[in-house]
Amino acid sequence: MESLTFSIALLILLLNSFAFSLNSDTDKNALISFKNSITSDTNAILSTNCSQNTSVCNWIGVSCGLKHGRVTALNLSRYDLAGTVAPHVGNLTFLRYLDISSNSFVGMLPFELSKLRRLKVMNLGTNSFTGEIPKWLGSLPQLEELYLYNNSFLGKIPSSLFNNSKLQTLQILRLSSNKLSGSVPHAIFNVSSLREIGIGNNSLSGRLPIDMCNNMPNIKFLSLSRNQLEGQIPSNIWKCTHLDVLSLSFNNFSGSIPREIGRLSMLTELYLGYNSGFQGSIPICQNLQQLYLDNNKFTGLIPLNIWKCKNLEILNLNINNLSGNIPHTIGNMSMLRELGLGLNHFTGIIFCFENDDLYSFVLRITHALEGLIPPNIWKCKNLEILELGLNNFSGNIPRTIGNMSMLRGLGLAWNHFTGISYT
Ligand SMILES: *[C@@H]1O[C@H](CO)[C@@H](O)[C@H](O)[C@H]1NC(C)=O
Ligand SMILES: *[C@@H]1O[C@H](CO)[C@@H](O)[C@H](O)[C@H]1NC(C)=O
Ligand SMILES: *[C@@H]1O[C@H](CO)[C@@H](O)[C@H](O)[C@H]1NC(C)=O
Ligand SMILES: *[C@@H]1O[C@H](CO)[C@@H](O)[C@H](O)[C@H]1NC(C)=O
Ligand SMILES: *[C@@H]1O[C@H](CO)[C@@H](O)[C@H](O)[C@H]1NC(C)=O
Ligand SMILES: *[C@@H]1O[C@H](CO)[C@@H](O)[C@H](O)[C@H]1NC(C)=O
Ligand SMILES: *[C@@H]1O[C@H](CO)[C@@H](O)[C@H](O)[C@H]1NC(C)=O
Ligand SMILES: *[C@@H]1O[C@H](CO)[C@@H](O)[C@H](O)[C@H]1NC(C)=O
Ligand SMILES: *[C@@H]1O[C@H](CO)[C@@H](O)[C@H](O)[C@H]1NC(C)=O
Ligand SMILES: *[C@@H]1O[C@H](CO)[C@@H](O)[C@H](O)[C@H]1NC(C)=O
Ligand SMILES: *[C@@H]1O[C@H](CO)[C@@H](O)[C@H](O)[C@H]1NC(C)=O
Ligand SMILES: *[C@@H]1O[C@H](CO)[C@@H](O)[C@H](O)[C@H]1NC(C)=O
């Protein structure tokens, strides 16, 4: 019995080492084919560092598993390589990490890559791949990060990638800067493992599902900017409790911003500019650092309690229909370094920021104000850019502006100043 066990063990060992060399040969052949389909290798990386004589595990960019000696990672990012991806890469069945981003690969993704069942990370960003986003990506059972940004992928984002419980391990999806069209498949918002979705700068249209955040407990980064999306921000946005960055700018969204957005305590950057359709009042979110609402239809007053956004660094309200006085409470927002109030309908006079902590400050107010520029403007001594053009200021330009040593940009054109000019 013992000797039988021993024999079986020995047999398994022999078979294993046989399989080992056979499979290593498979990896080597796959990598040789990969290398052979590269047409340009400006830095001669592959010819000098992938000698047929050395083990592939010592080739540049290749990592192998310790136990089985099989190729587990291929990392050839930023090597200035051009060519196509050989279908043989699909034979690297132990591959967990594939990064050939920032090169000049062309063509379609070979179907054979669907054999990479152990793949966790696929980064093909910044190349010139074309064709539709392959449906077989949805059958990679362990995929966690998929980067296809900045290529020439076209057509629709296949919804079958995500539905029927596919890609349920996916955490990062980056498809931005391609030529994708059609709508954003609602099934994306059902992949509850997702932490980052970037699909900006395509030609996507349609609306967001009203139940968008019902099943996105982990989402931190959501960018849909620079598309042709329309409709409203789903009111259950507050259920995306971990949201840190939300970018919907340069689309055709409209409606008011759900008040509940104020419940997103981790939201630090909110980009809603250039939709020309957002309206209503300005949202107050406690931990925001950057708020872009420019080029929309916001009306009414800037809320007095804007100071509650105490971490705000950038507030851009340019090109809206806001009116009334600019609240003096803005003056005590100590983190603020850029304030855009241009092209609105503010009345009243400019207040001064007396906050010494402002270290680098940009203030743009145009089409809004009248009266005199307050002589105590020099107290904003860290002001770097002061744009007050296209207002109705009159009187003298205060001499004290000359004391503002940090000032590198000053715009005073299109006002009604009188008196002499000086430098
Ligand atoms: C490539 O091989 C050359 C010569 O063996 C060596 O000097 C160089 O460091 C290698 N480059 C990398 C990136 O491993
Ligand atoms: C490859 O290895 C063989 C024997 O190990 C050696 O004779 C030969 O010169 C090597 N070729 C290259 C290109 O290094
Ligand atoms: C891949 O290579 C890039 C650039 O050399 C490097 O920044 C990155 O950490 C590498 N990734 C892995 C997993 O080795
Ligand atoms: C590897 O892949 C290629 C192309 O997909 C195929 O022709 C070949 O038979 C595969 N197997 C081995 C062991 O190389
Ligand atoms: C996108 O790709 C182009 C070349 O195709 C490159 O010049 C540009 O830097 C890339 N952009 C990003 C954000 O990677
Ligand atoms: C899943 O995707 C397929 C193909 O796009 C579609 O026909 C089907 O309706 C989708 N199912 C669900 C539940 O969304
Ligand atoms: C958008 O994508 C195009 C390529 O499709 C690229 O040239 C352009 O730089 C991208 N724009 C931004 C803002 O990323
Ligand atoms: C999301 O998942 C729920 C429950 O699993 C399912 O009923 C619904 O059809 C899915 N929605 C989409 C758009 O796939
Ligand atoms: C934006 O939406 C409005 C209606 O809400 C529509 O009239 C307009 O044509 C849309 N613009 C674009 C560029 O899609
Ligand atoms: C701007 O707001 C005023 C009221 O404050 C309103 O009368 C006017 O119609 C608005 N203009 C636009 C273009 O929405
Ligand atoms: C800012 O101003 C508001 C309203 O006047 C006040 O309640 C708040 O305490 C001030 N905050 C700071 C930090 O000065
Ligand atoms: C500036 O004043 C003129 C008349 O003095 C007035 O017609 C114009 O509407 C004013 N512009 C602004 C932006 O207040």
Residue 229 CA to ligand 9 centre (angstroms): 9
What is the model's pLDDT at position 350? Answer: 56
How confident is the model at residue 341, as a pLDDT? 81
Pinpoint the alpha helices (H) of 108-200.
none
Per residue in 290-333, pLDDT (tens digit) is 999 999 999 999 998 888 898 999 999 988 988 887 787 777 78
Question: What is the 8-class DSSP label of residue 21?
Answer: H
Q: Is 77 in the pocket of ligand 3 (CB under 6 A)?
A: yes
- Place 109 in a pLDDT band, splitting at 50, 70 and 90: very high
Q: What is the pLDDT of residue 311?
A: 92
Please choose from 48, 51, 53, 54 the residue to mutate so as to test ligand 2's pocket, defined by most ligand atoms within 8 A of CB: 53
Ligand nearest to the CA of 365: 12
Beta carbons of 336 and 360 less than 8 angstroms apart: no
Amino acid at 75: N
Q: Phi, psi (5° rounding) for residue 38? A: -90, 125
Token pair for 314? 């950038």
Pocket probe for ligand 7: among 130, 201, 223, the residue whose CB has the most ligand atoms within 8 Å is 201
pLDDT range class, residue 368, cuts 50, 70, 90: low
pLDDT class of 213 with cuts at 50, 70, 90: very high
User: What is the tens place of the pLDDT at every residue in 12-32?
Assistant: 544 444 445 556 788 999 999
The alpha carbon of 53 and the centre of ligand 2 are apart by a number of angstroms equal to: 6
Asked whether the predicted pLDDT for residue 75 surpasses 90, the reply is yes
Give pLDDT tens digits for 151-181. Answer: 999 999 999 999 877 888 999 999 999 999 9
pTM value? 0.85
Residue 12 backbone dihedrals phi, psi, to 5 degrees:
-60, -40
Atom 2 in ligand 6: residue holding the nearest Cα: 160
Partner residues linked to 113 by β-bridges: none
pLDDT tens column, 371-423: 666 666 666 667 777 777 777 777 777 777 777 777 887 877 777 777 655 44
Shortest-distance ligand to the CA of residue 102? 5
pLDDT per position as a tens digit, 276-286 = 899 998 888 88
Closest CA to 302 of 324, 280, 270, 319: 324
- Ligand 1 centroid, distance to 78 Cα (angstroms): 16
- Mean pLDDT (the chain) is 86
The token pair at 52 is: 């047929």
Q: Residue 359 has what pLDDT?
A: 42
What's the whole-number mean pLDDT along residues 1-17?
51
Residue 271 pLDDT > 60, yes or no? yes
Q: Which of 181, 226, 252 to mutate to test the pocket of ligand 9 (most atoms within 8 A of CB)?
A: 252
Q: Which residue, by CA, sits nearest to atom 10 of ligand 3?
A: 75
Please name the residue whose Cα sits nearest to atom 8 of ligand 6: 160
